[in-house]
Structures are given as structure tokens and as C-alpha cells.
């Protein structure tokens, strides 16, 4: 699913190896942590509406569960690859560890395009996915959640199938469910808000007034929308948004140098994040090529869509004015581009810290489900802000103290926590 020749799993392993060398990680621990602890590959037969049966390939990969049940989304995508899922499972382990929640890393996927499936076919696919994994996940083993092109409805079908198989109510089995059916208030805002909580703290330590900053954003799905909403509410100005157009099958960048009205933009996008071009232009936006988001003369870049978007080639387009890169997406920066970011002294908020708000709120949902008591929106967001802020300052302070790049500092904290857990358990 990445761009060009970059393999996301190789990227994740390279990032890990670099920090393993830095901290002198023992070889046995290194070998355990640089690959998934277990993988499930399976086929899912689905009866289609026309009476035919179609076979889908599905995956669930658990990278490490030394600190708690595996946690991670299930994505539906026609270009899904097992290496993408391996990388995302690995990043989930570090994400849970860096914000210090008692979960491990997992990820799942099905090779399919839900745009081409009816609602009934999607339901049968979800239930088939669970039937293949019912013995291998659950509230105390592996807790899935929504991801690319999956939703709370998909999760509810999966939870219902799991409960039917096991004969009881297990709402903590899956997170990202609709509110009122075991879902948590604040979940839709959580990842995007978490991105901006870390950005807010970064601008404080850099002594930059957020109300005087401008930003360019890649993506306008749930994460990007709520990041944009909170950022602009704090006084920042979004001047460009790049998003995929599902009708034209390509991306466009919408630019308004006076600032984009995020509320209006949210009202003219569809469920998949595609913005209505004609209405956006009528609102005063210029229509530019999709990759122009990265070339804008702004203070902050917010890649909140795909992996492998900041490469040496695209980095050459980044304005000298850019001071902060805030990684809302998973794996948006390639390892060779990291070296260029370091050389330019751009402050980077790494993905598995920056976008950890989603898994943190999923953890809150799991806790609430397991105790059958639910918190107010204000309480959820207050706890989320505390977790993200605490994690950010732990990473920033280590980076300052040891002279580390922020991504490396985040990895040092996360890897050390997981390594300690596997040693204490006696696994190595």
C-alpha cells in the first residue's frame, strides 16, 4: 500500500535495528522483537448477493503481547499486503509502550474493496473473518478495532459474531464500536486530537505561538479532520489540504492562503474523505495537484494519510520555512528521509507517539466495557490529553538529555519497556 519501492515492514525493522544498536540490545531480545510473535493467514469464503461464493484473503498478525493483549485495527483494502500489516503490528507495539498503556501490538486486514461490496456482503465478510480467528482473539488475548475502510458498524458485526460463537457478552473484545453499543465517547476525535495535543506541546518547547502558525495537511479522513478542527480552534491556520478523490481516482490539493474553513470543508466531504471539488472552489480554494501539499510555504506539515510520503525526492520540495513535521499517519517518512530532516533540524513528532491518541482511547473503551461503566466526553478527553502530554514530554526530555532525534528517543523508551517485559516474563 506504500508508494514507490519502499517496503513498510523493512522500514519498521530498519528503525528498530538502528535503536537496538544504539541501546546495545541483546541479540535474543532483538531477534524476538524485530519480527511478529505469531501470524494468522486464512481464506474467508463469502456468499455474494448474486448467489456466487467469493474467496477473500485475510490476516491477523500479533507482533508482541508481553505487556498486555495485542491491540490494533483491521483494514479492508484492495492493495493490502502482509508486510504492511506486519509493519503496522510492530508500530502498534511501540505505540502502546511509548504512551505506557498495558497492551501489545497487533494488526489485521482483508484484501477487498468495500466500495464494491453491498452492506450484506460486508457483514458476511466481517462474520467470516471472526469465525477464522475466534479461538485466537478476545478481550484478554487480542483486541481489534477499525482501520482503513472499516467502521464501528463492521466492529459491531464482528463483536456479535464473537459473542454468538462463545455464548456470552464480551464488549471488551473489540473497540471502535458505536456509542451506545459499548463504544466510548471521544473515540472519533481521539487520534486527531492526540496529534494536536503533541503538536501543542512541541510548539511550547520551541517557544512558538500556535496562533501565529500555518499548516498544510495530507488527508481529510477522520484523523485529519479532527486534527484540523482542534488546530484551528487553538488559533492555527490550515492553508492546504490534500485528499484522495474517489471519483477521479487521484489526489488533489485544496489551497486557500487566507485559511481554509474546516467546518465548511467537513460538510462537503463524503464518508471516505473525498472533498467535493466544485463546492471547495466555490469556497475560495485553488485546486492543485495532490502532491503539492508538501511544497507549501508553511510552519507545520501534517502527513495524516499514507505511508512513505516523505522521501528524499519529496523532501526536496519542503519549504525552508517548515519548522515541525507532525506524523498523523503511520510510517509517512522513509528512513533515508529521516537523515534529511535531522540535517535540516526540523522538529519531528514521530508517528507512533503523535497518532497514539486512537489506541489510547481504544484502551479507555476496553476499560469502560470491562467494568460496564462509561465516562463523559470531558473525562475521556481529559485523560487522553494527560496521557499524550505526559508521553510527549518523556520523549522530548530524553531527546534533549541524550542529544537524540525525536523518533530515536521515542523508540528508546518504547523498546526498553517491551524488552524489560519479555525479560521479566522469562521469554529470553
Tell me the C-alpha distance between 379 and 370, whole Å. 17
Residue 31 grid coordinates = 531477534
- Residue reference for cell 499517519: 329
CA distances for 34 relative to 55, 87, 102, 126, 391, angstroms: 31, 10, 20, 30, 23
Using alpha carbons only, what angle is made at residue 14 by residues 12 and 19, rounded to the nearest 5 degrees?
100
Helices (H), 187-334: 187-205, 222-233, 262-267, 277-282, 312-315
The counts of H helices and E strands in the chain are 15, 12
Q: Which of 107, 177, 188, 323 is catalytic?
A: 107
Residue 129 grid coordinates = 473473518
Taken in order 199, 281, 320, 250, the sign of the CA dihedral is positive
Residue 162 grid coordinates = 464473537
Tell me the C-alpha distance between 226 and 29, whole Å. 38
How are beta strands 53-64 and 70-77 bridged, if at all?
Answer: unpaired
Count CB atoms within 10 A of the CB of residue 37: 20
State the maximum Cα–Cα separation within the chain, in Å, rounded to a whole number.
Answer: 64
Residues β-bridged to residue 74: 108, 146
Tell me the C-alpha distance between 316 and 334, whole Å. 14
Tell me the C-alpha distance between 399 and 319, whole Å. 25
Helices (H), 255-376: 262-267, 277-282, 312-315, 335-344, 351-354, 357-371
| Three-state DSSP state, 184 | coil
> Which burial class, exposed, middle or buried, applies to 214 when counting CB atoms under 10 A from its CB (0-12, 13-18, 19+)?
middle
Tell me the C-alpha distance between 161 and 88, whole Å. 25
Q: Tell me, yes or no, if 107 is annotated catalytic.
A: yes
Tell me the C-alpha distance between 336 and 341, whole Å. 9
Residues β-bridged to residue 287: 254
- Residue reference for cell 472552489: 281
Known catalytic residues are 107
Amino acid at each position: 500500500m506504500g508508494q514507490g519501492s519502499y517496503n513498510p515492514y523493512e522500514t519498521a525493522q530498519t528503525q528498530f535495528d538502528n535503536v537496538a544498536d544504539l541501546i546495545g540490545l541483546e541479540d535474543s531480545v532483538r531477534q524476538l522483537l524485530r519480527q511478529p510473535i505469531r501470524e494468522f493467514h486464512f481464506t474467508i469464503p463469502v456468499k455474494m448477493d448474486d448467489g456466487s461464493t467469493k474467496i477473500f484473503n485475510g490476516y491477523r498478525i500479533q507482533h508482541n503481547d508481553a505487556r498486555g493483549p495485542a491491540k490494533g485495527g483491521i483494514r479492508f483494502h484492495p492493495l493490502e499486503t502482509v508486510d504492511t500489516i506486519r509493519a503496522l503490528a510492530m508500530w502498534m507495539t511501540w505505540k502502546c509502550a511509548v504512551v505506557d498503556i498495558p497492551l501489545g501490538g497487533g494488526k489485521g486486514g482483508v484484501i477487498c474493496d468495500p466500495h464494491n461490496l453491498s452492506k450484506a456482503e460486508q457483514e458476511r465478510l466481517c462474520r467470516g473473518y471472526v469465525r477464522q480467528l475466534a479461538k485466537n482473539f478476545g478481550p484478554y488475548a487480542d483486541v481489534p478495532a477499525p482501520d482503513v475502510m472499516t467502521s464501528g458498524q463492521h466492529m459491531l458485526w464482528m463483536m456479535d459474531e464473537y459473542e454468538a460463537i462463545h455464548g456470552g457478552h464480551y464488549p471488551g473484545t473489540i473497540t471502535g464500536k458505536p456509542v451506545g453499543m459499548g463504544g466510548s465517547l471521544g473515540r472519533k476525535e481521539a487520534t486527531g486530537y492526540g496529534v494536536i495535543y503533541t503538536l501543542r506541546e512541541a510548539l511550547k518547547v520551541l517557544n512558538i505561538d500556535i496562533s501565529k502558525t500555518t499548516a498544510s495537511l495530507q488527508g481529510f479522513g477522520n484523523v485529519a479532520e479532527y486534527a484540523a478542527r482542534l488546530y484551528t480552534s487553538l488559533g492555527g491556520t490550515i492553508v492546504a489540504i490534500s485528499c484522495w478523490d474517489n471519483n477521479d481516482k487521484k489526489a488533489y490539493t485544496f489551497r486557500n492562503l487566507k485559511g481554509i474553513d474546516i467546518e465548511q470543508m467537513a460538510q462537503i466531504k463524503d464518508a471516505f474523505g473525498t472533498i467535493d471539488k466544485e463546492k471547495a472552489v466555490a469556497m475560495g480554494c485553488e485546486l492543485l495537484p495532490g502532491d503539492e501539499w508538501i511544497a507549501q510555504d508553511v510552519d507545520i506539515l501534517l502527513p495524516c494519510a499514507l505511508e512513505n510520503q516523505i522521501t528524499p525526492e519529496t523532501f526536496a520540495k519542503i519549504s525552508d520555512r517548515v519548522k515541525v513535521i507532525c506524523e498523523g499517519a503511520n510510517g509517512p517518512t522513509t528512513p533515508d528521509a529521516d537523515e534529511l530532516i535531522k540535517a535540516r533540524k526540523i522538529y519531528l513528532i514521530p508517528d507512533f507517539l503523535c497518532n497514539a491518541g486512537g489506541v489510547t482511547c481504544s484502551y479507555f473503551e476496553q476499560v469502560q466495557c470491562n467494568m460496564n461503566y462509561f465516562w463523559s466526553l470531558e473525562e475521556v478527553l481529559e485523560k487522553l490529553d494527560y496521557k499524550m502530554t505526559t508521553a510527549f514530554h518523556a520523549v522530548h526530555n530524553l531527546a534533549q538529555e541524550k542529544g537524540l532525534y525525536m523518533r530515536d528517543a521515542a523508540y528508546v523508551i518504547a523498546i526498553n519497556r517491551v524488552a524489560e517485559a519479555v525479560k521479566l516474563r522469562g521469554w529470553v
